[in-house]
Structures are given as structure tokens and as C-alpha cells.
Amino acid sequence: MKHKFLTVLLAAVFALGACFSLAACGGDGHEHTYTAENKCSVCGEEWEHTPFDAFVFTPVTLDGVEGYDACFGLSEYRDITIDPQTGLPVVGELQTRGTLFEGEEIVFPYGYNGLPVISIGRAYTCTSETVKSITVPKSILSWGIQGQSEGDDGRCAFHCEALETLNLPDGLLLETTQMVDRYSPDAISHLTPKKVFYDRMFGYVDCPLWDDPGHRVNGALYIGNYLFDLASEETVETFTVRDGTKAILSCHNAENVIVPDSVEVIAAEAFTNSPLKSITLGKGLKAIGNIAFNGCYLLTDITIPEGVTEIGYMAFMQCDALTSVTIPSSMTKIGEMAFFSCSNIKEVHITDLAAWCGIDFSYTGYEGPLGNPLIWGYAELFLNDTKVTELVIPNGVTEIKPGAFWRTKSITSIVIPGGMTTIGSGAFYGCTDVTSVTIPKSVTEIGERAFGDCSLTDIQYAGTVEDWQAIQKGNGWALSLSNDNNYIITCTDGTVDKSGNVTYFHS
């Protein structure tokens, strides 16, 4: 497949001056742990790499880690700057960098001059007409993500026309499931607080590693433990990912996909706009990246397995046929617009109500919790396959996150337990069938529009009128624009009506 862009997730966790581990054990019974000096800190064995003079090293700092960018080969480039008067790019004269490399194998060093090698291709593209094999160390934090000059939007990592083998260390992408958003720096995205492989790994050449059918198994290109691509002239009816695969980076041409337990990551854009009709996710999955299933318009249901903690930005956006979603108790965050425009979702299934109350649904204020699958089709909530009508929040829950039950169609009444302190903004907004709510004295804050557009008639409060009036309430906490909710708040010593008028009980 020519001129194929890749979005690859890259994760590595280490601090300044720390050691960098390679998942390869020697005959002496220990796992070699290499330092920035390319020597194992346990036995002193040296990491055998291509001589330093084959590389151009450029100092870089990524996320507070000081190190070097490394590239090899002779590269031509032009500086691009922005004219301050016109705002237009100015292309400089053609320049060259590096030296001609005529060998067939490149092994990047772990470190150089006392610091780790943490990136590839930030300074310029690795180029070669002869290199057939590249080995990447585990110290790498990013590659091909940033150009060398102002206005340059980035470079591919490898422009290697003869490349046949890319050796990636086990766990390179998988040491963290924390995600950093590709489009919004404050949201989640690519599976790592570090940098990313970005879209430009192989560049604009007919790389044998990519195009040669001999490197594929049943049309699929695997590099190490990663599924890089599924290419076929015809749509594959059923595709089973090879056992042992750790991450799916691209799989765009199958109707039904079976994912083994070994897979830990569904990468950003892995299935975007594919003819996917069904997918069975393995038990080892930890995270789903941004836009991973965006535009899978034939996908009817999705069951996220236990162990997944985060779903990325726009992950299931425009999955128009999606009717049922199952969310595990392990989930902690669902990215903004994760289920945007999935207006046919009718059922959301969960197994742990307390865990559901604690999910960050990327609440945005007026627009609501854009990560919550309940909101788009006014879906019904099912707890252990039983539809939730009389919602009783479990004991021990102290906060209901903003937008947790926004527009849940099935709920008619709500009981909040003692010990609860915070009812988040929009927590029950648009639950149009809710008529009664029981609130404990422990509640100190009710967020804006928490019960907005409900059909409230009866609010039972376990404290006094004075206690009720002391609760911090957000704007429009019970405002209804579409329903007649002339509610009465019954306290232990009196009542408060919708307008705030108090009537005390007589002893």
C-alpha cells in the first residue's frame, strides 16, 4: 500500500538519569538494563549499536527529559520560515545534512554523550537506499513528529527504500495507558503522556516492508508484536488478529474482527471508516485510542472488556448503526465526543453502578457530557442486564460525576445515599421521567442543571430547611424548560416550594 500514513502510539516511562530497560534476557539469568552510556547497569554488557559516526545527534528535550535525537543517512532539506510581514512561508535554499550510509543494518544506540537517545526524525528524516534492517531501543520517546525549522510540520522517521525489517522492543507502546489528546492538549488521545509516532513513519516511498506481500500474513503486516496494517483487494469477512499481538495500529478492511487476549492497545484511528460490522475484544485490552472506530457505520454493538480504563476522543463518533454499548467497571474516563452523533444507541449496559458514578465523561458545561453514550439516543441504562428504573446509588459513593446520567430514559426515581457530598453538574439533566428524588443531609453541593429538565414533583431531603438553604446550588439546578416540575422539597422541619417559599411544620 503506497504512501500509507501511520498513527502509532508510543509510550515509555522513565525519569532523568534513569535506566532504560530492554525486554531481552541474557544467558546469565537477568534482564539487561541499559543506561544512557549503552551499558547494562547489572553486568556491564554493552548494547551493540551502529557506530556513532553513522548518526547525526541533535539535543532535544521531551516532557522534561533531556536527550538526543538521532538520524542517519544523507538528507536534503530546506529551511522554512514565516515572513513576519506577510505571514507567508519562506522556503530556504536546498541543503544537505549527514553522511552517506551504505550498510544494510542500523541499530540505534540507547544513549550518546551521557544522555539517552529519545527521538528519531525530529531533526530530519533517516534516509538510505541500502538499509534493510533497523533496530530501535526502548529509550525512544518519539519519532517523525516535528520538523527542524519554523513552519515545518514534521517529517517521517524513515525514508529507507530497501527496508525489510523493523525491530521494535517489546512494550515500546504499552508501558502506560495514559492518553494525551491529538487535537486538544487538555483531553486524551494517543495512549501516552509522551510523544507519538505520528502519521509519518515510513515517508513517501515504496518501502518493501510495507508493500511486499512477502512480509504479510493473510494480508496483514505484523512488525514485532504490533499489527501495522491489514491490506486486501477485497473486504475480509472475518479476520482473527494473530495471538501474541500487543497493539493494533491499523485494521481497515475487515467486516468481523476477533481480537486475542494478548492485545493491550487499540491505537488511534485503528479502524476508522472501516466496513467493520462486529468486533470481539480480548480480555487483555487496556485502552482505546482517539478516533479508533470513528465512522464504522455498520457496527451495531460494542462490548468494552474489563481492564479498559480510558476511551479516546471521538473513538466511536458517527457509528450510526450502534444500538448497544457495554462499559466495564474499570473505566475511569471517556473522551470528549467519544460517541458523538450515535443517535441510535438505545441500551447502555454496566455491571457496577458505583464505578459508573465515578467516570469522567468529559463534561463541557452547556453541551453536556459529550463522552457519555447515554445522551445521544436517550438510551436506557441496564445494570447487570436489568433495566434501571428506580435508581438507588450505592452506599460509599461520595460524588456523582458531571453528566453521569444525562438524558437516561429509563429512570423514574432517584435515591441518593448518606455520605454523598457532591451531585455533579448535569448529573441527571434531561431525565424526563424522573418525578421523585431522595437527598441526604450530607450533600453540600448540587451542580448547575443537575436535575434540569426533569419532571420533579417530590424532593425528600433528610436535613432541616436551614440545612437545605445552605447547600451550594449551581445555576438552574432544577430548572425545567420542557416539563412542569412544580416540586416541593420536604425537609425535617418544613417544606420549600419551587419559588423558595418556606412552610414550617407545627409541633
Cβ-contact 454, 477 below 8 angstroms: no
Whole-angstrom distance, CA of residue 329 vs CA of residue 304: 10
pTM above 0.85, yes or no: no
CATH at residue 490: 3.80.10
Owning domain of residue 437? 386-507
The whole-number pLDDT of residue 28 equals 55
Q: Is residue 30 part of a domain?
A: yes
Q: Is residue 234 part of a domain?
A: no
For residue 130, what are the CA distances in angstroms to 65, 118, 166, 207?
33, 24, 14, 12
Confidence of residue 45 (pLDDT cuts 50, 70, 90): very high
Mean pLDDT across 161-186: 57
The 8-class DSSP code of residue 469 comes to H
For 237-266, write each residue's pLDDT tens digit: 999 999 998 888 888 889 999 999 999 888
**Boundary of a domain, candidates 144, 167, 190:** 167
Specify the residue for cell string 458531571: 402
Nearest to 279 by CA among 302, 247, 249, 263: 302
Mean pLDDT across 491-504: 95
Confidence of residue 95 (pLDDT cuts 50, 70, 90): confident
The three grid cell numbers given for residue 240, joined into one nine-digit string: 482473527
Report the mean per-residue pLDDT for the chain. Answer: 83
The three grid cell numbers given for residue 41, joined into one nine-digit string: 547497569
Collapsed DSSP state (helix, strand, coil) of residue 414: strand
pLDDT top residue among 125 and 447: 447
The strand pairing partners of 397, in sequence order, are none
Q: Return the minimum-mean-pLDDT range out of 89-98, 113-122, 429-438.
A: 89-98
Collapsed DSSP state (helix, strand, coil) of residue 32: strand
Of all residues in the chain, the percent with pLDDT exceeding 70 is: 83
Q: Is residue 135 part of a domain?
A: yes
Cβ-contact 244, 224 below 8 angstroms: no
**Boundary of a domain, candidates 112, 137, 167:** 167
For 465-489, write each residue's pLDDT tens digit: 999 999 999 999 999 887 677 899 9
Of all residues in the chain, the percent with pLDDT exceeding 90 is: 53
Mean pLDDT across 130-143: 86
The strand pairing partners of 198, in sequence order, are 8
Collapsed DSSP state (helix, strand, coil) of residue 470: helix
For 263-272, write each residue's pLDDT tens digit: 988 887 889 9
Q: Is residue 422 part of a domain?
A: yes
Distance of CA 227 to the CA centre of its chain: 18
Q: Is residue 137 part of a domain?
A: yes
The whole-number pLDDT of residue 193 equals 28
Confidence of residue 170 (pLDDT cuts 50, 70, 90): low
Cβ-contact 370, 338 below 8 angstroms: yes
Q: Is residue 369 part of a domain?
A: no
The 8-class DSSP code of residue 343 comes to T
For residue 278, what are the CA distances in angstroms to 54, 108, 227, 321?
47, 40, 18, 11
For 385-409, write each residue's pLDDT tens digit: 999 999 999 999 999 999 999 999 9
> What total of structural domains would you count in the chain?
2
3-state DSSP helix/strand/coil % of the chain, to nearest 5 = 5, 30, 65
For 18-34, write each residue's pLDDT tens digit: 344 333 334 456 878 88
Query: Any residues with CB less than 8 A from the CB of 505 and at least 6 apart, and which?
Result: 493, 494
Residue 118, sorted as left (phi over 0), alpha (psi -120 to 50) or beta, turns out to be: alpha
End-to-end CA, the chain: 83
Nearest to 353 by CA among 380, 328, 378, 379: 328
Query: Any residues with CB less than 8 A from the CB of 214 and at least 6 apart, and which?
Result: none
Q: Return the minimum-mean-pLDDT range out of 211-225, 404-418, 459-473.
A: 211-225
Cβ-contact 27, 174 below 8 angstroms: no
Collapsed DSSP state (helix, strand, coil) of residue 466: helix
Collapsed DSSP state (helix, strand, coil) of residue 213: helix
For residue 22, what are the CA distances in angstroms to 40, 52, 63, 178?
10, 20, 21, 21
- Continuous H helices in 81-217: 208-211
Collapsed DSSP state (helix, strand, coil) of residue 467: helix
Q: Is residue 397 part of a domain?
A: yes
The 3-class SS string of 347-374 reads EEEECCHHHHHCCECCECCCCCECCCCC
Whole-angstrom distance, CA of residue 4 vs CA of residue 110: 28
Residue 421, sorted as left (phi over 0), alpha (psi -120 to 50) or beta, turns out to be: alpha
Cβ-contact 405, 415 below 8 angstroms: no
Collapsed DSSP state (helix, strand, coil) of residue 226: strand
Q: Is residue 304 part of a domain?
A: no
Cβ-contact 221, 6 below 8 angstroms: no
Cβ-contact 267, 292 below 8 angstroms: yes
Q: Return the minimum-mean-pLDDT range out of 173-182, 251-260, 297-306.
A: 173-182
**Boundary of a domain, candidates 167, 184, 210:** 167
